[in-house]
Amino acid sequence: MAILTQFYLLQYKSWKLQFRKKLVTAVEILVPILLCLVMMAIRVAVKEETVDTATHYPSYSVDEWPFELLFSLDPSVNGNYGLGYTPKTPVTKRIMEEMSGNLDALGLKLSENLYHTEGFLLFQHALHKSILTILNPDWLESNVSVNLEQIPSPPYTTDTFITVIKVNLPFIIIICFIFLALQIPKEVTYEKQMKLKESMRMMGMANWLQWFSWYFKYFVFFFFITFFMSLILTSPAKFDVVMFAANVAAAAGGIIYFLSYVPFFFIVTPYENMSAGAKTACCLDFNLAMSIGMIIIGDAEKTDAGVQWGTLNQPPTVDDNFAFGEVLYMLFVDWLIHSLLLWYIDAVFPGDYGVAQPPYFFVLPSYWCGTKPETVMIGTGSKVDVEDVAVEKVQQFEPDPVNLTAGIQIKNLKKKFKSNGITKIAVNDVSLNMYEGQITALLGHNGAGKTTTMFMLTGFFPPTSGTAIINGYDIRKDLANVRSSLGLCPQHDILFDNLTVEEHFYFFAKLKHCPASDIKTQIDYYVNSLGLGEKRKEFAHTLSGGQKRKLSVGIALIGDSKVVILDEPTSGMDPSARRHMWDLLQSQRAGRTILLTTHFMDEADHLGDRIAILADGVVQCCGSSIFLKKRYGAGYHMVMTKDGNCDVSKVTELLQRHVPESKLEGETPACIRFCCFYICCCNVCSTSIIQ
């Protein structure tokens, strides 16, 4: 059921986006149909020529020179030509001398028979007469007359349209679908370029299902178009016909699509003499297969029989050795080969985003069967996994919480990038635990490695070394199961421009297997909680930057994602919206493992149950806000106003009784200023201090 739900969602998304591009859709549908209507108009205009009687041809004498041979001779020879022969013996010499006397007649152009037009019969007959004269000088040449006549032709129909269209129909079909050939790679590449494909995969979408969904969508689309093309092209031609933004991938797709047709120009002439094996090999090129199929259809139409289901495996003529059924079989083989290549290349070479599979991935049991999850429990007094951290740094890490499940376990994660021969370490041996029911804040300046770490956790980038366990699954071995419970809000919004806010929530809620009965409730909750009620029916591209950010956070949270990763979720929001978002995130942490990155210290302090500070790709310290402030903070500054009877020493004694580490920084006639080094100063009873 999960696969069917995902397939439904992909089709829901694809067709919604398709019909919101009204002009593009109209061109994709109407161009093939209009070209077919043009062909039918030409079909009506070009009439068949029918010959009802048998055709008889005149006879000709083999004693006469063929007209074609006369005009092919070199005029500079002044009409004298030499005739070579071998062997040279007295007998052959006498024969040739006698033969030369028999070659003095001129003839007419009568037939296209090459035996005659090339002069072979003339020489053969002259040679025979010479031999007869030598063997029997008394024979009378006048009594022998040899005439040839072509066998009469039965009644026939000449159709110039079929003769011309047989060769040109493949090119017309190419033109019919050239716009689709540009649009398909453009749309597929756009989703990959905008990280939409990886975003869906991170939330549990099966990779193969995305490709199958594209195939199925365009199969239906092509079926619809070709159905109407077939209705037009197979309709009786006895009635009057009534005429009725590119990127590299699109350009490359169009060029490859057209180039795959170019070899047809080199096989159309020698086609009749090609072997069946050569034609089968040509059909490995799908456009060549289509072109050969058009030739077969044209030849079949010439016989008035056409291609029928009953004759699918029979050549159209006795001179052909290839049937239309074989073309269909080879087209299926082409589809199978292309599908396997797509599956393998997409797995091994996923591009800039995605974790590459090893070249032998298809023989690994884990690829087909997955792996079992590991439950990671943290016991009393255990420490964070810092085996590779220097001993003097251990005190910078607070002991792990007691008896909590680690939703995310990062183990020695490292990422290197190479550019212009220079290697940069973006993340260097990071080891860290995040726990269920808590928000872990990853704090650091721009370029500290926060986003790179999150990209490795979600599968955008493969780690150079190390790994992470998310919900019991290893990101290097079982990324599909990792993503099945993941909710992601990336640093840059990944949204479908032509889907509405409500459609985004519906799509991702279904993708995360949210029960159908809860979907509307959850959509209403997040739309209202995020303040997007007025934008519920608006397309994503019409939203402001802050509203897009809210939508991205809502997508990460909807569907009860067990692990939620938020990369700077409040960037672009005003202070009021940020506070509202903080309240929402705190209300959503129960039962979830939430990791967020930020470079705002107040945000990390307010949201983070535990805070990890990242600098230069290394976790410098980790612990609760209280732990870090006690370890590194300069303390809180408390300023008190005083009157003329204030005893500063007694106030200092009272404060140090509750906050032993506090000290007097200074005083003025109007106020006293203390520095409190520990957060427990908040527990000081203000009433006692006033007293």
Give the pLDDT confidence of 298-328 residue by residue, as tens digits.
788 777 777 888 888 888 887 788 888 899 9
Which residues make beta-bridge pairs with 563? 486, 593
Q: Are 626 and 597 in contact (CB under 8 A)?
A: no
Q: What percent of the chain has pLDDT over 90?
A: 12
Dig out the tokens for 383 from the structure. Answer: 């420490």
Of 86-90, 116-120, 257-261, least confident by mean pLDDT is 116-120
pLDDT surpasses 50 at 690: no
Average pLDDT for 620-648: 82
Higher pLDDT, 440 or 208: 440
As a whole number of angstroms, the distance between CA 2 and CA 9 comes to 11
Strand intervals (E) in 568-651: 593-598, 610-615, 618-623, 636-641
Q: Which residues contact 549 (CB under 8 A, 6 or more apart)?
A: 489, 493, 569, 570, 571, 572, 573
**Over residues 153-181, mean pLDDT:** 72
Q: Report the C-alpha gap between 245 and 250 in whole angstroms.
A: 9
3-class SS of residue 496: coil
Q: How far apart are CA 596 and CA 573, in angstroms?
A: 16
pLDDT band of residue 108 (cuts 50, 70, 90) is: very low
pLDDT at 374: 55
Q: How large is the average pLDDT for residues 286-297?
A: 84
Digit-coded pLDDT (tens) for 493-531: 889 888 999 999 999 898 888 888 899 999 999 999 999
What integer is the mean pLDDT of 568-585?
A: 89
Choose between 159 and 280: higher pLDDT. 280
Angle at 211 (CA atoms; ends 208, 216), nearest 5 degrees? 120
What proportion of the chain, given as a percentage, has pLDDT over 70? 77
**Are 481 and 373 contacting, i.e. CB atoms less than 8 angstroms apart?**
yes
User: Terminus-to-terminus CA distance in the chain, angstroms?
Assistant: 69
Q: Torsion angle, CA of 507/511/517/520, rounded to 10 degrees?
A: -30
DSSP symbols for 534-586: GGTTSBGGGS-HHHHHHHHHHHHHTTT-SEEEEESTTTT--HHHHHHHHHHHH
Structure tokens of 348? 């091994």
Against a cut of 0.85, is the pTM above it? no
Please tell me the distance from the alpha carbon of residue 427 to that of residue 416, in angstroms, as a whole number.
7
Residue 221 scores a pLDDT above 70: yes
What number of other Cβ atoms are within 10 A of residue 472's Cβ? 19
pLDDT tens-digit profile of 370-388?
656 555 554 433 344 444 4
Q: Which of 296, 305, 21 is nearest to 166 (CA)?
A: 296
Cα torsion 410, 414, 419, 423 to 10°: value is 160
Single-letter amino acid code for the residue at 4: L
Dihedral (Cα; 678, 680, 685, 691), 10-degree rounding: -20
